[in-house]
Structure 1
Amino acid sequence: MSDTPLQRPSIFDDPEGYLQDFQRRTSAMRDKAQDLQQAMSEAKSTAVSDEGEVTVTVNVSGGLEDLQLDREVRHLHAETLRTLILDTYRRAAEQSGEQMDAVMERVLGADAETMSVYRDARQRYGG
């Protein structure tokens, strides 16, 4: 990558070039936003407990989408089942966060300043 900054047309020296560059950049931003929106709407993560009794699916924000319980859960103590569900949910939510990180990197670029802000927010707020 070059060390020289990208030269954009000046609105004063090249108003037509400036407008074309502006339209190109806004179009690229719109495309990225659409890609991100599509990826977020499709992103779901599923985790299964070690013995397969509990299956949890969450969306990109960690919201519960589906919970499936195997017939064998009828024989589990309530506290054991609660722990299985919560642990499985946490794994699914963690996977969802990792999946979202990958989507953000793909859309924004791993070295983009916006990606750095995103990573800081995830770290700070536990996303």
Structure 2
Amino acid sequence: MDDQRTIAEMNSPRKAFRVTARTGFVVAAAMFLLPLVLPLVGAGAHAVAIVSMTAAWAVLASASSFAAMAATKPGGHPWVHQLWAIPVAIIAMVPGAVTALLVYGSLASAAEHAPT
């Protein structure tokens, strides 16, 4: 049986994927960069900031998955990309945690030792 859907009907979910991907890229950047403000304003070091910065990497992997789903050809199977999104998000958290600890720790240390 041939697929009788119009191109607009087939592209509709892809628009949702594009919007979700763009939102995810913005949210990931905000989740990573905004916690860096805490040591600069003298709020000290907070574990929540490290968790947020680490989770930003998982959000970035998920947004990449949605971007890949948006790029599938009409009539293709965009959900196949979800098969790799979850393991990649989990694996991405390891370098994300290391990067978050190094960046946040060095910034918090520099802010703590800065002359007042």
TM bracket (short chain): 0.3 to 0.5
- Pick the structure with greater CA Rg: 1
TM-score, length basis structure 1: 0.34
TM-score, length basis structure 2: 0.37
RCO greater where, 1 or 2, for CA within 8 Å and sep 6 or more? 2
**Structure with the largest fraction of strand:** 1
**Structure with the largest fraction of helix:** 2
